[in-house]
Structure 1
Amino acid sequence: MKGPSPRGPELGPIGDEILFENDRVRIWGVKLDPGERQAWHKHDLPYVIVPMTKGKNIMYFEDGREKETNETVGGVLWREAGAPHELLNVSDWQYRNVLIEIK
């Protein structure tokens, strides 16, 4: 189902698992099957996304904005900390990335 899901009072984690963390970075693994959503969450730190697969997703923001993403393997995306959002995988393949938060 396209469109944002209802946001509850609690925000979810940034990713599925923390792969590494020290005093400078926190590195998450993110995996979304086709049609799966990443729970509403908020980035309090700037971050880099390194796609491990192609990505065809829609970001839904709390203020009603939507942003389509088309990520490529070998690409890198920089994002600033920001508003709560969720991510929907609108492709027919599993999407994976490594997300690096800069402390």
Structure 2
Amino acid sequence: MTGPSPRGPELGPIGDKILFENEYVRIWSVKLDPGERQSWHQHHLPYVIVPMTEGKNIMYFEDGREKETAETVGGVLWREAGAPHELLNISDWQYRNVLIEIKTAPAGGQ
């Protein structure tokens, strides 16, 4: 099925599991098999995506916008916190990334 799925009242998690967390960052593992959707979720923090595989996905937003993504291994993407969305893997391979939420800067700026 293409197009967004119905959004329920509850939003899902950012990723599959938290790999690491401290007062500065929260690091998630994200995996989507071909045709699989990451449930509706929302980022309340800015974040960095580090693709572990190539990615060919569509982001669906609540307001009807769609954004196709083409991620490459070795690339890094910066994204600001934003509106609820879901992600659909439109490739014929498993998509994986590591997603790093930025909580706060360390004291002293370093």
TM norm. shorter chain > 0.5:
yes
Separation in 1, partners of 2:75, 2:96: 13
**Aligned Cα RMSD in Å?**
0.2
Q: For 1:16 and 1:63, how far apart are their aligned partners in 2?
A: 25
Query: Percent same amino acid at aligned positions?
Result: 89
- Larger of the two Rg values belongs to structure: 2
Aligned match of 1:41: 41
What TM-score do the two structures reach when normalised by structure 2? 0.93
- Cα distance, 1:99 vs. partner? 0.0
Amino acid at match of 1:58: I
Gaps of 5+ in 1: none
Q: Secondary structure at the match of 1:44?
A: coil
Q: CA deviation at 1:41?
A: 0.1
* Whole-angstrom CA distance in 2 between matches of 1:13 and 1:25: 16
Residue of structure 2 in register with 1:99 after alignment: 99
Number of residue pairs matched by the alignment: 103
- Name the CA distance, whole Å, in 2 between partners of 1:41 and 1:71: 20
1:72 is aligned to 2:72:
yes
Normalising by structure 1, we get a TM-score of: 1.00
Once the two structures are superposed, the pairs formed by residues 20-39 of structure 1 within 5 Å of their partners are 20-39=20-39
Q: Provide the secondary structure at the position in 2 that maps to 1:53.
A: coil
Q: Deviations over 1:41-97 (max 9, x none)?
A: 000000000000000000000000000000000000000000000000000000000
Distance 2:74 2:21 in 1: 23
